[in-house]
Structure 1
Amino acid sequence: MRYHQLPRRSSMKHFITRSTLALLLGLGALPLSAKTSGPEHWEYLQPDREQVIASLNVVELLKRHHYNKPPLDDERSKKIYENYLKLLDPSRSYFTASDIREFDRWSTRFDDFLKSGELQPGYIMYKRQLARLSDRLKFALKQVEQMDKIDFTVDESLEVKRDTAPWPRDVAALDELWRKRVKDEVLRLKIAGKEPEAIRELLTKRYRNQLARLEQTRSEDVFQSYVNAFAQTYDPHTNYLSPENAENFDINMSLSLEGIGAVLQNDNEYVKIVRLVPAGPAEKSKQIAPADKIIGVGQGKDEMVDVVGWRLDEVVKLIRGPKGSQVRLEIIPASNAPNDLTSRQVVITREAVKLEEQAAKKSVITLEHEGRPYKLGVIEIPTFYLDFKAYRAGDPNYKSTTRDVKRLLKELEQEKVDGLVIDLRNNGGGSLQEATELTGLFIDEGPTVLVRNSDGRIDVLADESPGVYYKGPMTVLVNRLSASASEIFAGAMQDYHRALIVGSPTFGKGTVQTIQELNHGELKLTLAKFYRVSGQSTQHQGVLPDIDYPSLLDAKEIGESALPEAMPWDSIKPAIKGAGDPFKPFLSELRVRHEQRTLNDPDFVYSRERLALSRELMNETRLSLNEAKRRAQHADFDARQLALENARREARGEEPLNKLEEEDETAMLAEDDKTRPEDDAYLTESGRILLDYLNFSERVARH
C-alpha cells in the first residue's frame, strides 16, 4: 500500500500554451445560473487563475502520462459527475431530487468544462451542498433541543445503506430522514451508556462545530474536491494534492514528522484506520486495529475534541505532535457490531518509527510431526526497508532487509533448522530495490519483477548475482495487509516454485505512482504497473495463496478490490519459461491435511465464524429505531461474540470470560507476557504444511 515513486520530471511541469491562456480570459456562460441557494457569503468561494491553470495541467498530464490514457469524453464526464455527487453527498441525505434534476443537465459536459478550464459547475454544486448541509445541521440542532419528546417505543426503522437510495423528493422528505437520523444518533449513544444531558451536550457540540467548520470553507477545499472527483475516475491512487496537502505528503514520505504510525482515510463522516505502520506507536500499543474509527482526539489531559464530520487532513493535524507527547484517541472498534457506537479511549505516546525496530527478526519453533521433532526457522519481515542515507553515503554497514535476512539465514543454518517460514503478514511494502534483492537470496540469477509503463515499454528488474544463498524448503505466510513490495516477493517465490504461499489473498496494490509538481499543488498519478515474472499482474486480486487461511479482515472492506475505480488484473508475456512445479503433485493432499488439522483448531474456527458473523451484520440495510428491539439486537450480537471468544478460550484450556470487555485486558496482558511463536496458530500451521510437503517429497524420492 505504500507508493512506489519514480523521479519527478520537471520537463512535464507546464503545458499551458498562450492560446490556452487566452481562452481562460473569456470563459463562456454556463447553462445554469451560478447563483446558489443558501447564505450569500458563500459566494466568496470562486476559482482563481492559478487553480484554472492547475486544472488544465491536470487534464494534460492525465491525457499524456496516465497508465491507461482513457479518453476524456461524455462517458468519462458521467463518471466524473457520479463521483462528485458521491463525494458531496455519499448517503444521499443533503440534495433533493430537484437539485439532482438541475445538475443532471451537466452530466455529459464535465469533459468540455475541464478541457476549457471552466470550474464554475464544480463550485456551484459544492456551494449548493454547503447550503443544504447547513440547513440539515440547523434542523438536527432543533431535534436535539426537543430530544425529550423522542418516542423510542414507536416501531419504525432507518435505512442505513443509502448510496443507491432514491434522492429525497423535497425538503419535507429530508426533514423526515434527518428526524430519524438524529433519533438513531441519540439511541446509539443511549445504548452506549451515556446520560440524556451528556447526549444532548455531545450532539449539540458536534452539530455546532460542523456548522462552524462550514463557515471556514476555502476555495482550495472546493477545488481539491472537484479535481479529485475527476482524477479518481482514472484509478484510486491518482489524485490532486493542494499546496498544503502536498507539503504534508512530502513530510509523510520522509518520515520527518512525529506521529502514531497509522495510515488513515475518510469513511463517510468518520476517519478510519487502514493500516498500522510496523513498529510504530499505534502498532506497539496493541490498542487499535485496522478498520477502527476515530471519533475523538485529545492532547495529553486536554478535553477530547469530537472529530465526527471533520476532513481527514484536519484530523491528521490533531493526531500529529512532538516526540514524547501523548495523544488520546476515542475509537469505535471494528469488532463492534456495524451500527454499535460504543467507544473506548486509548492513550498513545508519539514517537518516530525507528529503523531498527522495523528490522527483520528470527525465531525457531519446534514441531512434532509424524512421530519426530522438527526445528523450523521463522523470519518475520515487517517492512522492506533500506537506510538510503547510509547507503548513499557509502557506509559499509548500512541497514537493509536483504542484509539482515542474509545474516539471520546464516544463524538459522548454524542452528540446523529443517525448513524456513517467512512471515510477511501486515507488511505494507517499502523499497522495491529490497524486494528484488531479497528475491535474489532464494533464486539463481533471473528476472524478479516487470514494470510496464504507460507507453507499453516493459522494464525488467532482475537478480544478477549467480547462485542461491538459501536452498532449503520454505513457506511464505501472507495476509490481506501484505501489499506492494511484499506481493512482488511472494509472487516471485510462487512463480519460481521456491516456496509454498499460505495465508489469505494479499492486498492487490500493483501500480506505480509518481508525484508531479504543478503551478499550484501536485498531482500524484499512476503511470506504470507491476507484473510478476509469470506475466500476471499483482494488481486487484493480489497474490493468491496455494493454501487459503480464513481472515478476520473482509476483502470487501479492505484491499485494492474494495477501492472504487481500481484498475483490473491482467497479464502480459511471461519473463521466464515454465519450469516443473515440485508442489503441484502434492497440493490437493496438502489442502486436505490442512483442512483436517484446522477443522477444529480454535483460532481457525474463531476466524471463520467471526467473519461470517460480521458479514451477516453488514448485510443488514435497515436499523430499528425501537429501543427494546435495538437493545435486544445488541445483546444478541454481544452474546454471539462472547460465545465465539469463549469457545476459542475453552478449546485452548483458558478461563472463559464473563463479558467482552475482559477480552481487551486479557489480550494486553498476553502481549506483556510475550507470547511464544508456537502459540501463533497461523504460524505453526504454516510450518506443519511445510513438514507435510517434506514428508511427501521424501517418500517419492525413496521410491
Structure 2
Amino acid sequence: MRHNSLNKRISMKHTLTRSALALVISLVALPASYAMSKAQQWDYLQPDRDQMIASLNVVELLKRHHYSKPPLDDARSRKMYAGYLKMLDPARVYFTATDIQEFNRWETQFDDFLKSGNLKPGYAMYNRQLSRQDQYLDYALEKLSKGVDAIDFTLTETFETDREKAPWAADEEALKDLWRKRLKDQILRLKIANKEPKAIEELLTKRYKNQKKRLQQTRSEDVFQTYINAFAQTYDPHTTYLSPDNAENFDINMSLSLEGIGAMLQSDNEHVKIVRLIPAGPAEKSKLVAPADKIIAVGQGQKELVDVIGWRLDEVVKLIRGPKGSQVRLEIIPASNAPNDMTSKVITLTREAVKLEEQAAKKSILNLDQDGRQVKLGVIEIPAFYLDFKAYRAGKPDYKSTTRDVKRLITELQDEQVEGIVIDLRNNGGGSLQEATELTGLFIEQGPTVLVRNSDGRIDVLTDDHEGVFYDGPLTVLVNRLSASASEIFAGAMQDYRRALIIGGQTFGKGTVQTIQPLNHGELKLTLAKFYRVSGKSTQHKGVIPDISYPADMDINEIGESALPEAMPWDSIKPAIHLKKDPFQPFIAELKQRHNARTNNDPDFVFSRERLALNQRLQKDTLVSLNEAERRAEYAKIEQKQLALENARRASKGEDLLKTLIKEDEDDQIIAAAAEKDAQKKPEDDAYLAETGRILLDWLKLSPMASR
C-alpha cells in the first residue's frame, strides 16, 4: 500500500567520510585456516568497492530512518548470523558441525564487519555453501546414473523432513549419508506420485544438471544481495535490499500482480509459493490455483516445462512474466495436498492486465429464512480498494473509486428494501489508503480513520471530514486471513467505532509502511511507519480479530504477517477517539451460541475444521519412512482420511461421493466443470456468507438498537 504523504523518498544526505572509505579498503584479514581448496572454483566471487559503499549506506539508512531504530550490536550480529545460515542452508544439508564451529567465531562480529564495510566473511560462508551444493549435485547425479532401480527401498530407515532445527551433520561422511537419504526421499515422493523409475531418473537428472549450470553462473551480486538481506531482514521482513538488476525490475516484478498471472509470490526454501491471488486476475478467475500452492515448473505456451525447484524467486518471476495475451503453463503442488505429497498438476493461464472494472465492488441479494419469513440482506463484495488516480488527478468528474461505487450500490440495495448489509472483504489484499479512509466515512458521522506513526515518533491522523452518515443501517463485515492492509484499516475502524460486527477469520496483519531509497548501488526498501487503529491498537502482526470467528480456511502458520520471520510486534498507542458504549457486547455470547448451534453440524463448517485439524496433525509428522511399502501404506492412510472428509461433506449435502481424490491432469474437465458450477452459485450457497447473514439477523432480533 502506498500513500502520497508516506511514499516520499528520503534524500540521501549521508555520504561516506574519507576515514570510512579507508576502513572499506583496509579489510580485516580472514584466518589462514579458512583457505579451502575445494572452494577455489568460487574464488572469483569477491566484493567490489561499490558493494562495500552500498553496505555502509544501508547501515546508515537503517540506523537513521528505520521505524524501530534498533542498535547495531552483538545481539543483532547473532540474529543476522542465524538468519544468514538459514538463507544459505535452510534444511541443514550443506554445512557440517565443523563448518559451524569455524563460522561461530564471527557470530558476534557481523555488526563490526558491517560498520567497517568488511564483506569477506559473508562471501566466505556463501562460497562454502556453493562448494557443498556442487558436491551434492555431483553425488546425486552419480547415484542417478546407476538408475533408480539400483536403490534399495526395502531397508528400514527414516528421514527427518523438517530439518530447520536438526543437528548439523558431524562431518562430511555424515553429510553424505544425509544426502543419500535426502535423494532417496525425493525419489520416493515421485514414485508415490505415480512417476515411473525412468521418468524420475530423467526428471531429477535434468533438474540437478540445470542447478549445477546455474551454480556456475553465480555472480558476486547474488552473494552481496543475500548477505545484505540477512542484515536488513533482522529489522523486519519487509525491509530488503534490491540489487541493481532487481531494482530496475522492481516495478515490473510488482506489476506481475497486475499484468501477469495475478499472483503474489514468495520464496519457501527450495520452492516458490503463491501467497495471494489478485482479485479478477487470471489465476483467481481460473479457480485452478490457491494461496500456499507451490510452483515447481514453468512453461511458455506449449513449450517444454522448465523445472524451477531450487531457483531464486526473481528467476521464477522472469519466467512467469510475459506479454499480455500469451499463455504460461505452471506445474503446481496444491496446498490441499497432504504434507510430503508431491502429486502435482499442470495448469494453463493467459497473461492479462487486471481491468479496474473487473475489480469493482459488486452487489447481490442474500435471501434467508427467519422464523418462516423471507428476509433480504444486501451483500457488497469489495475485491480491492481501488482509485483511478489518473482520472482523479485530471479532475474528471466520473473517476472510478471504491467509495463511489459502494455509495451507488448501497442506494440500489436500499431501493430493493434490504434489512441490512454485509461488506465482504474476503481475499481483499488492500490498495488505496485514501479509499479505506473515505469508505469508512460512509458509515460514521465524522472523525479519525487511521493513525500513522513515523520513525521519529510523530503521529499523523487521517480523518473523514465529511459530516453525516451515508448509511446508518445494520452492518457486518466479513473478513479472512487474506484480508490485508487497507481492508484491515477499514474493518478495524468499523470495529472501533462499534459500527459493525466483524465476522470471519483473523486478518493478515500487515500494518507497516515502506519506502524505496536509492543507493549508489541498488535500492533499499525500508519500513518507516506503522498503522494504528483509532482505538490505538496496531494492525501489525495480530491483524483484526473478529467478534465472531469462523474456522480458518488456511493455516495461519503458513500465510500471514505472523508467519514471516522477524515480523514487527503488535503494540498500541494513545487512542484517537473515546470509545462509545458497545451495542454488540451484551449480545456477543448469545450470538456465538446461536452460531455454534447452527454450524456444529453444518457440512462446510465441519469440513473446514476437520481438514485444517488433519493438515496440522500431518504437519507434525515430519519423520518419514524410506521403506517404499511402509511409505505407500502411510500415504494410503492419509489419502483415505482426506477422502473420508470430502465424502462426509458431500453426503451431508446430498452430492455424489468420490471413489478417489481428484488430483491428476486428466481430471481437468472435472475441475473446469466444478469451477463453472461454482460461478453459478447463489449467495446462499456460500456457507460463510450465509452464516454471516444469519448472525446479522440474530442481532436484529436480539437488539432493539439494531432496528434503527
What is the TM-score normalised by the length of structure 1?
0.97
Could you report, residue by residue, the CA deviation over 1:44-87 in whole angstroms, capped at 9, with x for unpaired residues? Answer: 11111111111111000000011110000011100010000000
Query: SS at 2:650's partner residue?
Result: helix
Range that drifts further, 346-355 or 646-655: 646-655
Q: Could you say if the C-alpha distance between residues 415 and 685 of structure 1 is closer, same or farther in structure 2, counting changes exceeding 3 Å? A: same
Please tell me whether residue 337 in structure 1 is matched to residue 338 in structure 2: yes
Please tell me whether residue 686 in structure 1 is matched to residue 702 in structure 2: no
Contact 1:296 1:331 in 2 (8 A): yes
- Partners of 1:327 and 1:366 lie apart in 2 by 40
- Partners of 1:13 and 1:324 lie apart in 2 by 45
* 1:395-410 pair list within 5 angstroms: 395-410=396-411
Residue identity opposite 1:390 in structure 2 = A
* 1:259-278 pair list within 5 angstroms: 259-278=260-279
Contact 2:700 2:707 in 1 (8 A): no
- Partners of 1:266 and 1:32 lie apart in 2 by 36
Alignment partner, residue 474 of structure 2: 473
Could you report, residue by residue, the CA deviation over 1:469-495 in whole angstroms, capped at 9, with x for unpaired residues? Answer: 011001100000000110000000000
Deviation of 1:667 (Å) = 5.0
Deviation of 1:13 (Å) = 5.7
Alignment partner, residue 8 of structure 1: 8
Could you report, residue by residue, the CA deviation over 1:612-670 in whole angstroms, capped at 9, with x for unpaired residues? Answer: 00001000120111111111111111111111111111111111112211787555324
Alignment partner, residue 695 of structure 1: 701
Please tell me whether residue 286 in structure 1 is matched to residue 290 in structure 2: no
Alignment partner, residue 155 of structure 2: 154
Please tell me whether residue 82 in structure 1 is matched to residue 82 in structure 2: yes
- Partners of 1:255 and 1:665 lie apart in 2 by 28
Range that drifts further, 630-639 or 33-42: 33-42
Deviation of 1:4 (Å) = 6.0
Alignment partner, residue 643 of structure 2: 642
Contact 1:14 1:519 in 2 (8 A): no
Residue identity opposite 1:125 in structure 2 = M
- Partners of 1:668 and 1:37 lie apart in 2 by 56
- Partners of 1:154 and 1:352 lie apart in 2 by 53
Deviation of 1:148 (Å) = 2.2
Please tell me whether residue 605 in structure 1 is matched to residue 606 in structure 2: yes
- Partners of 2:115 and 2:705 lie apart in 1 by 68
- Partners of 1:269 and 1:455 lie apart in 2 by 39
Please tell me whether residue 425 in structure 1 is matched to residue 429 in structure 2: no
Please tell me whether residue 437 in structure 1 is matched to residue 441 in structure 2: no
Query: SS at 1:331's partner residue?
Result: strand
Residue identity opposite 1:272 in structure 2 = K
Among candidates 664, 671, 675, match of residue 671 of structure 1: 675
Q: Could you say if the C-alpha distance between residues 37 and 579 of structure 1 is closer, same or farther in structure 2, counting changes exceeding 3 Å? A: farther
- Partners of 2:13 and 2:32 lie apart in 1 by 33
Query: SS at 2:405's partner residue?
Result: helix
Alignment partner, residue 356 of structure 2: 355
Contact 2:603 2:649 in 1 (8 A): yes
- Unpaired runs of at least 5, structure 1: none
- Partners of 2:254 and 2:217 lie apart in 1 by 28
Alignment partner, residue 542 of structure 1: 543
Contact 1:296 1:330 in 2 (8 A): yes
Alignment partner, residue 110 of structure 1: 110
Query: SS at 1:330's partner residue?
Result: strand
Deviation of 1:395 (Å) = 1.3
Residue identity opposite 1:40 in structure 2 = Q
Alignment partner, residue 128 of structure 1: 128
Deviation of 1:33 (Å) = 5.5
Alignment partner, residue 482 of structure 1: 483
- Partners of 2:98 and 2:598 lie apart in 1 by 60
Contact 2:256 2:263 in 1 (8 A): no
Contact 1:606 1:644 in 2 (8 A): yes
Alignment partner, residue 493 of structure 2: 492
- Partners of 2:420 and 2:469 lie apart in 1 by 15
Contact 1:331 1:345 in 2 (8 A): yes
Could you report, residue by residue, the CA deviation over 1:232-271 in whole angstroms, capped at 9, with x for unpaired residues? Answer: 0001110101111112222244679731011111111111
Deviation of 1:32 (Å) = 5.6
- Partners of 1:34 and 1:280 lie apart in 2 by 51
Please tell me whether residue 447 in structure 1 is matched to residue 448 in structure 2: yes
- Tell me the matched-pair count: 701
Residue identity opposite 1:70 in structure 2 = P
Could you report, residue by residue, the CA deviation over 1:371-427 in whole angstroms, capped at 9, with x for unpaired residues? Answer: 211110000001111111111111111111111111111111111110000000000
- Partners of 2:437 and 2:103 lie apart in 1 by 50
Alignment partner, residue 19 of structure 1: 19
Could you report, residue by residue, the CA deviation over 1:576-621 in whole angstroms, capped at 9, with x for unpaired residues? Answer: 0020111011000000000000001110000000000000100012
Could you report, residue by residue, the CA deviation over 1:204-250 in whole angstroms, capped at 9, with x for unpaired residues? Answer: 11111111110000010000000000000001110101111112222
Query: SS at 1:443's partner residue?
Result: coil
Deviation of 1:183 (Å) = 0.8
Residue identity opposite 2:159 in structure 1 = L
Contact 1:4 1:514 in 2 (8 A): no
Contact 1:89 1:95 in 2 (8 A): yes
Deviation of 1:3 (Å) = 6.1
Residue identity opposite 2:248 in structure 1 = E
- Partners of 1:392 and 1:424 lie apart in 2 by 27
Alignment partner, residue 299 of structure 1: 300
Query: SS at 2:517's partner residue?
Result: strand
Alignment partner, residue 28 of structure 1: 28
Q: Could you say if the C-alpha distance between residues 378 and 256 of structure 1 is closer, same or farther in structure 2, counting changes exceeding 3 Å? A: closer
Please tell me whether residue 226 in structure 1 is matched to residue 227 in structure 2: yes
Alignment partner, residue 49 of structure 1: 49
- Partners of 2:92 and 2:319 lie apart in 1 by 29
- Partners of 2:141 and 2:38 lie apart in 1 by 18
Query: SS at 1:11's partner residue?
Result: coil
Q: Percent identity?
A: 71
Contact 1:55 1:117 in 2 (8 A): yes
Q: Could you say if the C-alpha distance between residues 3 and 433 of structure 1 is closer, same or farther in structure 2, counting changes exceeding 3 Å? A: closer
- Partners of 1:488 and 1:318 lie apart in 2 by 35
Q: Could you say if the C-alpha distance between residues 623 and 251 of structure 1 is closer, same or farther in structure 2, counting changes exceeding 3 Å? A: same
Deviation of 1:10 (Å) = 5.0
Query: SS at 1:491's partner residue?
Result: helix
Could you report, residue by residue, the CA deviation over 1:266-293 in whole angstroms, capped at 9, with x for unpaired residues? Answer: 1111111111111100111110111111
Contact 1:144 1:182 in 2 (8 A): no
Please tell me whether residue 145 in structure 1 is matched to residue 145 in structure 2: yes
Range that drifts further, 228-237 or 645-654: 645-654
Residue identity opposite 2:555 in structure 1 = D
Alignment partner, residue 652 of structure 2: 651
Alignment partner, residue 618 of structure 1: 619
Query: SS at 2:651's partner residue?
Result: helix
Q: Could you say if the C-alpha distance between residues 13 and 199 of structure 1 is closer, same or farther in structure 2, counting changes exceeding 3 Å? A: farther
Contact 1:13 1:517 in 2 (8 A): no
- Partners of 1:384 and 1:73 lie apart in 2 by 41
Alignment partner, residue 513 of structure 1: 514
- Partners of 1:678 and 1:419 lie apart in 2 by 15
Alignment partner, residue 191 of structure 1: 192
- Partners of 1:356 and 1:512 lie apart in 2 by 27
Contact 1:4 1:513 in 2 (8 A): no
Residue identity opposite 2:305 in structure 1 = M
Deviation of 1:37 (Å) = 4.1
Alignment partner, residue 235 of structure 1: 236
Query: SS at 1:211's partner residue?
Result: helix
Alignment partner, residue 565 of structure 2: 564
Could you report, residue by residue, the CA deviation over 1:298-344 in whole angstroms, capped at 9, with x for unpaired residues? Answer: 11111111111111111111111111111111111111111011111
Contact 2:9 2:515 in 1 (8 A): no
- Unpaired runs of at least 5, structure 2: none
- Partners of 2:370 and 2:671 lie apart in 1 by 29
- Partners of 1:689 and 1:430 lie apart in 2 by 28
Residue identity opposite 2:132 in structure 1 = R
Runs of 4+ in 1 over 6 A off after TM superposition: 699-702
Query: SS at 1:656's partner residue?
Result: coil
Alignment partner, residue 66 of structure 1: 66
C-alpha RMSD of matched pairs (Å): 1.7
- Partners of 2:591 and 2:10 lie apart in 1 by 54
Could you report, residue by residue, the CA deviation over 1:503-529 in whole angstroms, capped at 9, with x for unpaired residues? Answer: 010011011111111111111111111
